[in-house]
Amino acid sequence: MKNDTLVNHPPAVLMPADDRPLVAPIYQSVKFSFDDTGETLRYLRGEREGFFYSRSSNPTLKQLQLLLAQLQGRDDCLLTASGVATLAVTLLSLCKQGDHVLAFVESYGPTRYIVQHLLAKFGVAHTLVSIEDLGGIERVLRNVPTRVVVFESPTNPVTKIADIEHLTAHARRAGAVTVLDNTFAGFHNHGAYDIDIFLHSLTKYASGHGDVMGGAIIARSELIAAMRKDIVSMGPTLDPHAAFLIQRGMRTYFLRYERQCANALACSQFLKSHPRVNCVHYPGLDTHPQHALARRQMRDFGAVVTVELDGGFEQGARFAEALQFFSISASVGSAESLVMPPQLLAGNEYTPEQRAASLIGRGTVRLSIGLEDAADLVQDLGQALDKAYI
């Protein structure tokens, strides 16, 4: 063997069967090889376990898939390279020309884009109502044959709570598939409800450190099996190294989520008492209009706190810029605190009626509360509010 052959066939190191790494290695390999053609064919026919090509399966991804499915209380999971990919490929796989989708005014912007523009290109119709409009939800599901209901709870940015029991009961009666983007609530919430498919952006609380993107589609195995070929053929797979980082992030998921929720409650209680803050949206506050519903549905309430500041754009930007421990940035659920000033939240393509339902106004500021010391965060919010109104 010459050296240029050798570098392409490096020495194999096999682990003895009774000797295992405590942290699973990263299988940074696109291909996996069986000993012979017969075993390869058996694998491809689904007659044996194994791995062949990382676009469809990889051991590093498999570990994360098993973990996330179990946490969310379903049997199977597919991983994608970002959270929005879960929305795009799930909806494309579920819908065909002539179908109808029920979506919500308060949904994540790219979700609305996918429903209103991408699916529309393929002849899929939609209705958008407010997540609080229970009568509207009932009416649509009773009168329009609906393939999919896609929703969130709490919603972004104003943390409205979907009435999940009401929504799933009406969807089930209408024969619609329910898809919950559960990113804000996390894997430990909502699993007991009659929801068909859970989607998560792993970029947020799962990885937790703001250094990797990913998405998860979690459902019972028949549903995943029905979508698997479509989704694998669209090619959105997660990279093994990213899966490894997310798996590592998951070790501290509960510690981080609990701490971030406690910090969020402390921040929201302080903000509620401040004279320049007209309203605080946090489902954990007993002043939140759907606090009782949130308590019934959730174990804890997440780390997104949104405020309505006195004044408008100018004060919102001054407040955001004066904050020391909150960076002006997109995203939520990271270890460090983040802030979105009103100018960055206002870009939605809403009709005036939809804008009113969205509750996003000129003084709306979204905070994603991180892992810092709660007293430091409260002190920072106070000094930034002082500076915003000098």
Ligand X SMILES: *Cc1c(COP(=O)(O)O)cnc(C)c1O
Could you list the residues that contact ligand X (CB under 6 A)?
Answer: 82-84, 108, 152, 156, 181, 183-184, 201, 203-204, 213, 215, 332
361 with 308: CB under 8 angstroms?
A: yes
To ligand X, the closest distance from the beta carbon of 366 in angstroms equals 11
Report in angstroms the alpha-carbon separations of 389 from 176, 291, 310, 367: 49, 30, 9, 19
Give the nearer residue to ligand X in terms of CB position, either 183 or 290. Answer: 183
Over the range 253-274, which residues count as b (16 or more CB within 10 Å of their CB) and which as e?
beebbebbbebbbbbbebbeeb
208 with 249: CB under 8 angstroms?
A: yes
Size of the chain, expressed as the number of residues it contains: 390
Closest to 306 in 3D by CA, of 388, 379, 364, 258: 364
To ligand X, the closest distance from the beta carbon of 213 in angstroms equals 5
Report in angstroms the alpha-carbon separations of 205 from 184, 262, 307: 8, 15, 21
Cβ-closest position to ligand X: 83
Give the nearer residue to ligand X in terms of CB position, either 114 or 174. Answer: 114
Q: Tell me the residue type at 80.
A: T
- Residue 369: both structure tokens together: 């509360």
To ligand X, the closest distance from the beta carbon of 310 in angstroms equals 27
Tell me: cis bond preceding 157? Omega within 30 of 0 counts.
yes
To ligand X, the closest distance from the beta carbon of 13 in angstroms equals 35
- Residue 112: both structure tokens together: 């609305």
